[in-house]
Structure 1
Amino acid sequence: MGVEFGLLGPVGAWDAEGAALPLGAPRHREVLGRLLIARGRVVPVGRLVADLWEGPAPAGAVGAVRTFVAALRRALEPGRVPRQPSRLLVTDGPGYALRAPREAVDAWRFEDTAARAGRAAPHAALALWDEALARWRGPVLADFPHAAWAAAEQVRLEALRLDAVERRADTLLATGAARDAVADLRAHLAAHPGREEGWVLLATALERSGRRGEALDTLRRARRALAGAYGPGARPALARSEARILGATGSATEPAGTADSVWERTAAAWDRSVPARSRARLHATAGLLRDLAVTGADGLREARTHRRDLVAAAETTGDTELAARIIGSYDVPALWTRADDPEGAGELVRAAARAAARLGPQGPPALRARLLSVVAVESRGDAAADAPPSRAAGAPAAEGWRLRAERAAEEAVRLARRLGDPALLAFALNGAFMQSFATCGSAARRDVLGAGLTRLAVEHQLPGHEVLGRLIRLQALAGLGDLTAADAQAEEIDRLAQRNERPLAAVFTAWYRALRTCETDGWPAARPRYARVLQETAVCGMPGLGRGAAALVALVPVMRGDGLPGPDDFAGLDAGPYRPWLEPLLLAASGAGEQARRALTAVARPPHDHLQEALWCVLARAAAAVGHVPVLRRARDELAAAGAESAGAGSGLVSFGPLTHHLLAVDAALGVHAPCAGPAGDGAGGRSPLAAGETEQD
């Protein structure tokens, strides 16, 4: 509606231009304030009467409230047609509700901005804390300081404000601006001397400003102030701060966040304070592994190594909810669909499924959404397969594990949206992305999904998932051939990755730029770029990306042309996980037509991931060479929906050229090798693929 409301100070409302709206007499503003603190819930007329007249209400109180509401509606929606229902201050059942979005109320925006600041890195957090605190114009509901209906909200919001002041000061310390924090904290404590955390922060700021004596004197004054407010007693935070300052041996002026000793002292304190084999250690370890996974290649390897052990340790406690929390805590953004450790991924899927089954559908919905997201993310490609995939030469078949993973992704997103938890929704959307490859030709759908994830991540300061959302878009746009839009995503990814210390993102943008060079300048120009990116990928800590990558690159010039590989094109290359789909092509190229046909009859359909279109094209090329009609027909059916895309480009890694080119080749092969066609050769040397006397493969 373009109207903004204020609780953080006198009750107010402003139009879209920032002009104050005429709310009328104090009773009108009081009704508005009472409806605002209800946060969109209905306030019955009787409740409004009781709140506005704390003693016995006059005989016309109900009518007066209705008059106040009517006047407020005129003020808030001056352009509303007479007798048209209000869309802002609505009548609902026995009372009224104010339907204002969160961003329209200063108190709610303060809370949301503070929450984002609490998740942000120090320099970004400082700007957010300033933005949050700038919303305060005075005490909460300042024109109704003694209203009983306002008391609880006044106390709650004021406590959040005091906490925000202290967390902003802590952020100043973390950025090395200790001197700036001193003045703010002194003013804060002059008004609120009972804040122990504020005193500790002031002492710390003084110490880091080189004023050690003042810091110790501040702690002594803090004890007197707190004793006056709460009586004598132990003040553990003050005692710890004093012991630290007295025992400090390093430079008192060293800024926060630059000394390794801070980590060492904290780790030592953790070991001393937290009992061995406690649940707190499991929770802390889960958080460390999650953070470790995004630090780079070494951290990713370590996180992958220890994650399975952590899940096993949590399951041995016998506490289903604890195990579920540990399993669901690893919400690291995931992109590459070939699991780095397929066996481990399968174990995690089964562990998450066990925990979800034990919790049941009535278990905590947020926890259930996390477990379902784990199932969806880890079931990438065929990692969670519990039966052999269907064959490429046969008809499509329902595969239970894939259907379960798809349903898990859908339910996780539904639960996360219902709960309104942005971080949980981002994790669930990651699972939905992993399960978005049910059919070929899904690049446009993935672009929409990536755009939604990016918006969510930007709005709620989730930098890791913003990088993920943009990478999803980068790949999808490359598949759709919109390289200009993909370039913009690549530039933003690199900027975000550098700012938020996400080094692995650069691996994906390097692959994309090699692909782009191939699309615009041809294979000879792209070849040296691919050589460099293969070297980088070999040490990136993602074997699911690295294994077989050189074979994918070697396929590029082959598949962008019309022939078969040369005898030395793949010499010494490890095809890794792609060997089953490359093998028939290599056999056909070597003249082993019968072996190639047998391989095509036995090979499984390509995994449902980024490269399914590319691998179907590889199978189709081999099938055309040796006359394997069932695979040609299946490839034609699978690829039909992807006609507007480039083969493989949706991976962001390689492109085999327009899919229309490959479809035309399949059509030509089917036309030549239809059942009514005459005798054929063995597929070698460019001859017709069906040898005399042979039939189509079943």
Structure 2
Amino acid sequence: MDVEFGLLGPVAAWGADGPDLPLGAPRHREVLGRLLVAHGRVVAVDRLVADLWEDGAPAGAVGAVRTFVAALRRALEPGRAPRRPSRLLVTDGPGYALRTERGAVDAWRFEDIAARAADAPPRAAVALWDEALACWRGPVLADFPGAAWAGAERARLEALRLDAVERHADALLATGAARAAVAALRAHVAAHPGREDGWVLLATALDRAGRHGEALTTLNRARAALAEAEPGTNAGTGTAAAGRGALARAEARLTGGAGDRAIEPAGIADGVWDRATAAWGRSVPARSQARLHATAGLLRDLAVTGADGLREAHRHRRDLVAAAESTGDTELAARIIGSYDVPAVWTRADDPDDAGELVRAAARAAARLGPDGPPALRTRLLSVVAVESRGDAAADTAPAGAAGPPVVEPWRQRAERAAEESVRLARRLGDPGLLAFALNGAYMQSFGRCGSAGRRDGIGGELTRLAVDHQLPGHEVLGRIVRLQALAGLGELTAADAEAEEIDRLAHRNERPLAGVFTTWYRALRTCETDGWRAARPLYANALAETADCGMPGLAQGAAVLVALVPVMRGDANTPVDPDEFGHLDAGPYRPWLDPLLLAASGAVGQAREALATVPRPPHDLLQEALWCVLARTAASVGHLPVLRRARGELAAARGEFVAGSGLVSFGPVARHLSEAEAALGA
């Protein structure tokens, strides 16, 4: 599909490389919209004239239509040879037809995805409904709101969209994600108060989210809204009556008249929690070791409850470690430090200073215990060192520059040795939970060089099998996310799809909401690989919105810049970079590698070369291949040979992979970037 078309919003067309095609004046776009609405059928010239000039056609209208069509053909197929027939906007008998694949038109693509979603199980349906609704950029044919020829198609597609919103919410409820459904349904019923199904779904979502009183209030609001929407309807017939019947059934269900309410078991558990925590406060003395141990366990469990819990766990963990160290009890401190075995998947630390301090605390405790200390405790401490030394978090000197040869960095050697020893000790002890924690550390230290997707796939596979065999659901989710990322880097997208489905199922079943952030990003990457940047762009917008408040700043900061780089880096070496596209974005931790690219693109070649001379080498993490590719492109554009040679050498180990191992963004095959670097060096 060289050209894609848009009806779900203003009429638009996009080339294969992403930018909008210049369709010309409103009449040109109206002709295109009219042909798209015809679904590939021929529209006679006389019909086009009548539709475009509803109040009466002027003299020369037929010639004007032919001029509009000729201009559209030039815009849609700029490379078409003179006198060669158009293959998109064709002449057929008495008129014209637009001949394109279903996947090339956003409205048709929306319908096809919606049809798949309707037949899918709930978890898969949620993702498909998300994808379908992301096709919408605004109202149907938004630039021709009063056109009579668009009325029927506008009404049909809008009805399908409203149904999709409600079925998406229904799928969310089926997966247990009631809270996620509430916000969308509130906006839905506010915009369309006559949709009784929307009101019933909102009340159900509120009830299942534990807001029973608000759910009943919503039903009362719904009655008033439906009556106002259909003021002339008799009590026994029509939409309002049907709505009142549906609302009555919902009220009977929510008040216990039909079936059990989903919130009741959780309500019982909340009562037990309140009584147990009160008893704990009365029974356990202040400043006791028991409180330190219990707090450590609480923080570990809190970290997997969602964004708020993760933020709170991070905020209090360092204080807890300091409190344990202040007791002077080496084993107690070691147990508290090593107890935080929360699965960690992202390789950039949320707080590098905090991570560095935890590494030092774990190293101090390990040194005090000595090599003959309890092996399980030593394993845990070494695993903490390996996990928290992700990327450059444990660096005690500035990273080496990208323009020089590779440098042996002592802090990385210490972290890698800690990972190796912790796995060896855990295997010897035969403790599956301990081995899972150690393998997490081994994963974090598997980025010593580019091209390690195969190794990470092996670690993820072992973690997954271990977790399945020993009922460790948190580490099973981790293992599958590790595999998801690795498989994306290896280009094995069908296998990655299966992992994404299983991650979503496990995350719902075991209440691990943050896992969905990673599958959301992967599905945007997947769409980019199969359907192109244009189709993936709205999915990336959703991923950025979901990530913004996920409690993982190491993932969120600068993510928008990574997305903005996708169409640039997926193009060839001549793909232009528009610095204005990046001017409003916070580059976060990626600023050192972005700035030289933008300087080169703005024509400041000398400044770009100076920036490359001092730019640090990319961190050893999930994005190292991507950042080396950015450096290679910049160095090639300004002729900075030291960085270009270093980038080529680093990327050579990943020649058979894709620049997609992060599971977030893909810059295409590594081999293509290597070829461009080698061509630049040869030149």
TM-score bracket, normalised by the shorter chain, equals 0.5 to 0.7
1:465 aligned residue? 475
1:572 aligned residue? 584
Q: Is 1:510 equivalent to 2:488 in the alignment?
A: no
Shift of residue 261 of structure 1?
Answer: 2.2
The secondary structure found in structure 2 opposite 1:569 is: helix
Q: Is 1:356 equivalent to 2:366 in the alignment?
A: yes
Q: Is 1:626 equivalent to 2:638 in the alignment?
A: yes
Instruction: Work out the CA distance in 2 between the residues paired with 1:544 and 1:371.
Output: 23
Shift of residue 652 of structure 1?
Answer: 0.2
Which residues in structure 2 correspond to 1:197-208 (within 5 Å)? Answer: none
Instruction: Work out the CA distance in 2 between the residues paired with 1:581 and 1:297.
Output: 29
Q: Is 1:325 equivalent to 2:332 in the alignment?
A: no
1:263 corresponds, among 259, 264, 273, to 273
The secondary structure found in structure 1 opposite 2:580 is: coil
Decide which moves more: 587-596 or 454-463.
Answer: 587-596
Q: Is 1:581 equivalent to 2:593 in the alignment?
A: yes
Instruction: Give the letter aligned to residue 261 of structure 1.
Output: G
1:492 aligned residue? 502
2:675 aligned residue? 664
Instruction: Work out the CA distance in 1 between the residues paired with 2:455 and 2:381.
Output: 24
Q: Is 1:635 equivalent to 2:647 in the alignment?
A: yes
Cα deviation per residue 1:407-435 (whole Å; 9 max; x = unaligned)? Answer: 00000000000000000000000000000
Q: Number of residues paired by the alignment?
A: 418
Shift of residue 257 of structure 1?
Answer: 7.0
1:306 aligned residue? 316
Cα deviation per residue 1:496-519 (whole Å; 9 max; x = unaligned)? Answer: 000000000000000000000000
Which residues in structure 2 correspond to 1:222-241 (within 5 Å)? Answer: none
Which residues in structure 2 correspond to 1:439-454 (within 5 Å)? Answer: 439-454=449-464
Instruction: Give the letter aligned to residue 630 of structure 1.
Output: P
Instruction: Give the letter aligned to residue 475 of structure 1.
Output: Q
Q: For the Cα contact (< 8 Å) 1:333–1:430, is it kept in 2? A: yes
2:416 aligned residue? 406
1:17 aligned residue? none
1:334 corresponds, among 328, 344, 347, to 344
2:441 aligned residue? 431
Cα deviation per residue 1:426-459 (whole Å; 9 max; x = unaligned)? Answer: 0000000000000100001110110001000000
Cα deviation per residue 1:569-601 (whole Å; 9 max; x = unaligned)? Answer: 212000100110111101100111111111111
Cα deviation per residue 1:230-272 (whole Å; 9 max; x = unaligned)? Answer: xxxxxxxxxxxxxxxxxxxxxxxx8697242211111111111
TM-score scaled by length of structure 2:
0.61
- Relative CO higher for 1 or 2, CA cutoff 8 Å, sep ≥ 6? 2
- Residue ranges of structure 2 left out of the alignment (5+ in a row): 1-263
Instruction: Work out the CA distance in 1 between the residues paired with 2:579 and 2:311.
Output: 36
Instruction: Give the letter aligned to residue 654 of structure 1.
Output: V
Distance 1:256 1:498, change over 3 A: closer
Shift of residue 567 of structure 1?
Answer: 3.1
Distance 1:255 1:432, change over 3 A: closer
Cα deviation per residue 1:616-636 (whole Å; 9 max; x = unaligned)? Answer: 000011100111000010001
RMSD: 1.0
Q: For the Cα contact (< 8 Å) 1:293–1:303, is it kept in 2? A: yes
Instruction: Work out the CA distance in 2 between the residues paired with 1:513 and 1:578.
Output: 23
Q: For the Cα contact (< 8 Å) 1:564–1:585, is it kept in 2? A: no
Instruction: Work out the CA distance in 2 between the residues paired with 1:432 and 1:306.
Output: 26
Instruction: Give the letter aligned to residue 662 of structure 1.
Output: H
* Runs of 4+ displaced beyond 6 Å: 254-257
Q: Is 1:557 equivalent to 2:567 in the alignment?
A: yes
Shift of residue 361 of structure 1?
Answer: 0.4
2:661 corresponds, among 650, 666, 677, to 650
Instruction: Give the letter aligned to residue 397 of structure 2.
Output: A
The secondary structure found in structure 1 opposite 2:400 is: coil
Cα deviation per residue 1:465-490 (whole Å; 9 max; x = unaligned)? Answer: 00000000000000000000000000
Q: Is 1:599 equivalent to 2:611 in the alignment?
A: yes
Shift of residue 305 of structure 1?
Answer: 0.3
Decide which moves more: 651-660 or 558-567.
Answer: 558-567
Instruction: Give the letter aligned to residue 519 of structure 2.
Output: T
Q: Is 1:613 equivalent to 2:625 in the alignment?
A: yes
1:544 aligned residue? 554
2:27 aligned residue? none
Cα deviation per residue 1:605-654 (whole Å; 9 max; x = unaligned)? Answer: 0000111000000001110011100001000110001011111x100000
Instruction: Work out the CA distance in 1 between the residues paired with 2:265 and 2:510.
Output: 20
Instruction: Give the letter aligned to residue 623 of structure 1.
Output: A
Cα deviation per residue 1:281-339 (whole Å; 9 max; x = unaligned)? Answer: 00000000000000000000000000000001001001111000000000000000010
Q: For the Cα contact (< 8 Å) 1:297–1:541, is it kept in 2? A: yes
The secondary structure found in structure 2 opposite 1:258 is: helix
Instruction: Work out the CA distance in 2 between the residues paired with 1:258 and 1:410.
Output: 45
